[in-house]
Amino acid sequence: MRPDAGTDHRRWLYEAIGLLAAISFAVMSFSIWILYETAFQEEGARLVELAKTQAILIDAMAASEESNSRPGRTEEAVQSTLGHIEKAQRDYPGFGESGEFAFGRREGANIVILLSGRHVNRGVPVSVPWESTLAEPMRRALRGESGTVIDLDYRAAKVLAAFEPVRRLNAGVVAKIDLAEIRRPFLRAAGVCFVSLLLMIAIGASLFRRISVPLIEGEKAMGELRKLHQSIEQSPLMIFITDREGRIEYVNPRFCEITGYSVDEVIGRNPRILNSGDMPREFFAELWSTLLSGRQFKAEIKDRRKDGSSFWAQIVTSPVRNKEGLITHFVAVHEDITQRKQAEQATQAAREQAEIANRAKTELLANMSHELRTPLNAIIGFSEGMKLQLFGPLGSAKYEEYAEDINASGQHLLKLINDILDVSAIEAGKTTLQEELLNVVEIAETSLRLVRARAEKGSVSLFLEASDGLPPLLADGRRIKQILLNLLSNAVKFTPEGGRVTLKAGIDEVGRLHLAVADTGIGMDEKELTLAMTEFGQVDGGLDRRHEGTGLGLPLTKGLVEIHGGIFSVESKKGHGTTASAIFPASRLKKNGET
């Protein structure tokens, strides 16, 4: 049996019931239609006979009244005839629920219904325009026609009508009955038959279903069980089932493949055969406590194979309940995650190694701070004295040049050491800010003065664009000056002769302070910009580079801005210059009256 056999059985059942219903409905509908047509024809013939009889009778009455009336009194004869007709209709108003005779004449552009058995009496006639769609049977009678028609009467009701002219009175007579009355018994019969048919089909289907459904459901359940069994057997996860006491009743092939046990070796045994001995007692206490309370247990566990080797597994163990809600079995799913655990352990080891190396670097740099600065200060001091010839002439221009080079090299090396120590301190989170209220314009002007000599030497113009009324900035003055000097020095260094460097200071729309240094220098592409933002990264690298530097300027500047709670960014385009921006939060700006 295919897995969808139950669906096939149901489809066959529904198709059989549908076919039976369609045939029965067709036979019933055809029979009722034949009966309706027969009754319709009989009703039409009856109406024709009644209309003809009435027309003949009225014509005879009119002839009698004319013969008995005086000459010139034709209208009196007509009214007398109408009186006789009205009296006759009071005695016999109509037939069925809606059937009646109607008598009418044409008066000008109207059809006037003078009498009808149910709705019109002689005192209150009904007038219908000749050109309207109403009173079609009477219109035909007044045109001198006779016959039957299905159309609207003077009440706008659809009727089956027979019509005859009464020529002696220039009138017409109509015998009619509402079409709905003719159809009603057949529609009622159709409804009863249809309901009876549905009831019979429902009873038959119910009996058939009661017999067949259990068989179909049983076959379907067996198919689902086979599908479930195949899924478990072919699962890439190791799965086993135990009874309530923990005795193994089933293991799938993957269990045997991972653990090395055969099925016969584990059936009836306790899952403790997988215990590696590395898990604490509390782990298993929590496992059983969770399962016996009816909850699912998820964790990572270290299992043991038959050969004694161990492996890590992600486990999900769930209780299985019977119809009464009692726990009867447990299903355990173990996923081998040994490779993932090994990767995690390797990552953790690498992280710890990196932390050790970082601490060693920090300690080394801290020690170097004293060990390198002390001899450097001596070199710088002595070379400064020699350069100024404080203790007498050097006696040679070459010695003066050497003293100048020694002093410049010492200053450069000291700056390099200071930058390295500053970067290390920022990375270690050991930088302490000496905050004070700073005049932004003054510190900007001071920074420009310090780089002006170098700018003039390279024929680079310096400009300051500062907004009026800038509030004081709460920051470390030495660090802010260090930020500006780094940015200005870089800008001057990489701007060719005739270029310009602009220091801008202003407040943005959300109240933050923007300090930006824009140059018209050589600029950088995206790859070079990424390199410049890394420690010791130099765009103009190599032994033959044209611009000196440590490669720490931008990373150090970024760190100094960020420890002030600010944002540092650089925008650059090759051949079009660079703009470096330091943005400080509005909380560091003091308005008038604030302290």
Q: Annotate 76-137 with DSSP letters as a single string.
A: HHHHHHHHHHHHHHHH---BTTTBEEEEEEEETTEEEEEEESSS-BTTB-EEEETTSSS-HH
What are the Cα distances from residue 575, in Å, to 30, 467, 495?
Answer: 94, 29, 10
Q: Is the dihedral of CA 385, 390, 391, 393 positive or negative?
A: positive
* pLDDT score recorded for residue 100: 83
Half-sphere exposure at residue 374, Cβ-oriented, CA atoms within 13 angstroms: 4
* pLDDT score recorded for residue 5: 53
Q: pLDDT band at residue 474, thresholds of 50, 70 and 90? A: very high
What count of other Cβ atoms lies within 10 Å of the Cβ of residue 399?
A: 14
Sheet strands (E) in 460-548? 461-466, 473-476, 500-507, 513-519
Q: Which two tokens stand for residue 203?
A: 């009873």
536 contact partners, CB below 8 Å, separation of at least 6: 550, 551, 552
CATH 1.10.287.130 assigned to 343-421: yes
What count of other Cβ atoms lies within 10 Å of the Cβ of residue 363?
A: 12
Q: Which two tokens stand for residue 210?
A: 């009661």
CATH architecture of 432-540+549-588: 2-Layer Sandwich (3.30)
Q: What dihedral angle (degrees, nearest 10) is formed by the CA atoms of 179, 181, 182, 184?
A: 120
Mean pLDDT along residues 398-421: 76
Top-level class of domain 238-336 = alpha beta
69 by Cβ neighbours in 10 Å (0-12 / 13-18 / 19+) ranks as: middle
More confident residue, 239 or 65: 239
Alpha carbons 49 and 43: distance in angstroms, whole number: 10
Nearest to 452 by CA among 513, 388, 503: 503
- Least confident segment among 184-188, 264-268, 559-563: 184-188
Query: pLDDT digit string (tens) for 497-506?
Result: 999 999 999 9
Q: What dihedral angle (degrees, nearest 10) is formed by the CA atoms of 240, 243, 245, 248?
A: -40
82 contact partners, CB below 8 Å, separation of at least 6: 103, 114, 115, 122
What would you measure as the largest C-alpha separation in the chain, in angstroms? 176
More confident residue, 129 or 80: 129
Question: Mind giving me the DSSP string for 168-229?
Answer: GGTEEEEEEEEHHHHHHHHHHHHHHHHHHHHHHHHHHHHHHHHHHHHHHHHHHHHHHHHHHH
Query: pLDDT digit string (tens) for 151-168?
Result: 988 888 888 899 999 888
Q: Report whether pLDDT(13) > 80.
A: no
Question: Where in the sequence of the chain do the CATH 1.10.287.130 domains occur?
Answer: 343-421
Alpha carbons 126 and 120: distance in angstroms, whole number: 7
Burial 419-457 (b: 16+ CB within 10 A, else e): bbbbbbbbbeeebeeeeeebebeebbeebbeebeeebee
* pLDDT score recorded for residue 542: 41
**Residues 487, 562 contacting (CB under 8 angstroms):** no
The CATH topology of domain 12-184 is Beta-Lactamase (3.30.450)
113 contact partners, CB below 8 Å, separation of at least 6: 102, 103, 104, 120, 125, 126, 127, 128, 135, 138, 154
Q: Report whether pLDDT(218) > 70.
A: no
Query: pLDDT digit string (tens) for 342-355?
Result: 888 888 888 888 88
Query: pLDDT digit string (tens) for 104-121?
Result: 888 889 998 877 767 666
| Length of the chain measured in residues | 595
Give 465's strand partners.
504
Q: Report whether pLDDT(567) > 80.
A: yes
Question: Where in the sequence of the chain do the CATH 3.30.450.20 domains occur?
Answer: 238-336
Alpha carbons 201 and 111: distance in angstroms, whole number: 54
More confident residue, 384 or 549: 384
Query: pLDDT digit string (tens) for 164-191?
Result: 998 888 889 888 888 888 888 888 888 8
pTM of the entire predicted model: 0.42
Give 17's strand partners.
none
- What distance lies between CA 595 and its chain's CA centroid? 51
* pLDDT score recorded for residue 59: 78
**Residues 336, 311 contacting (CB under 8 angstroms):** yes
**Residues 444, 484 contacting (CB under 8 angstroms):** yes
**Residues 168, 62 contacting (CB under 8 angstroms):** yes
* pLDDT score recorded for residue 543: 37
* pLDDT score recorded for residue 91: 60
CA R_g for the chain: 56
SS3 237: coil
Q: pLDDT band at residue 538, thresholds of 50, 70 and 90? A: low
302 by Cβ neighbours in 10 Å (0-12 / 13-18 / 19+) ranks as: middle
Alpha carbons 278 and 264: distance in angstroms, whole number: 26
Q: pLDDT band at residue 549, thresholds of 50, 70 and 90? A: low
**Residues 239, 255 contacting (CB under 8 angstroms):** yes
Q: Report whether pLDDT(86) > 80.
A: no
Question: Where in the sequence of the chain do the CATH 3.30.565.10 domains occur?
Answer: 432-540+549-588
* pLDDT score recorded for residue 497: 92
